[in-house]
Amino acid sequence: MRPLGPFGIDIRASREVVFGVLAAPYLGRQSRAMAEKIQVLDRGSDMVLAAHRTPVRGPLVAVTVETVRFTPPERVDFRLVRGPVPQVTEAFVLTGQGQRTRVDYHGELGTDLWALGQAWATVVAARWEHVVRASLEAVRAEAERRVGT
């Protein structure tokens, strides 16, 4: 087991707006660009099963399948179902008041195969965290755009 994060980002928008931006690709109508990255496979009242397509290098694309659970407006939880490692759990936790929100990210990545698995976890975790950081920057930009800051 290896930790993912923790790290976070401050956003100049309410928790409700930030949560809406985080949840939109899963619960709302997707843009064409977003549909190329996230495919909702099944949807319930507070959870979806989604396939995520992440560019790796050149034409290579990693596909993970995760459950995504929503607890408005305070958290979004992810659990890996299929991917490059046997286990990943993650959470975005939203705190704040008024027009200020802090989104904190943390998770855990698990591998098998002893030392080989540990080495693979280091490679996967670095890319995984890079993708999460980029996603949080995109969430910040969109949330702040929606409130006009």
* Tens digits of residue pLDDT in 2-57: 999 999 999 999 999 999 999 999 998 888 888 889 999 999 989 999 999 988 77
Question: Would you call 114 exposed, middle or buried from its count of C-beta atoms within 10 A (0-12, 13-18, 19+)?
Answer: exposed
Residue pair 92/22 in contact by the 8 Å Cβ criterion: yes
| pLDDT higher than 80, residue 85 | yes
- C-beta separation of 77 from 89 below 8 A: yes
pTM of the model: 0.93
Exposure string for 89-100, b = 16+ CB within 10 A, e = fewer: bbbbbbebeeee
Instruction: Return the residue matching tokens 């909702």.
Output: 40
Q: What percent of the chain has pLDDT over 90?
A: 85
Distances (CA, A) of 58 to 6, 55, 61, 120, 121: 29, 8, 8, 20, 21
Which CATH number is 2-147 given?
3.30.530.20
Q: Give residue 35's pLDDT.
A: 87
Hey, what amino acid is at 118? Q
The predicted structure's pLDDT at residue 133 = 97
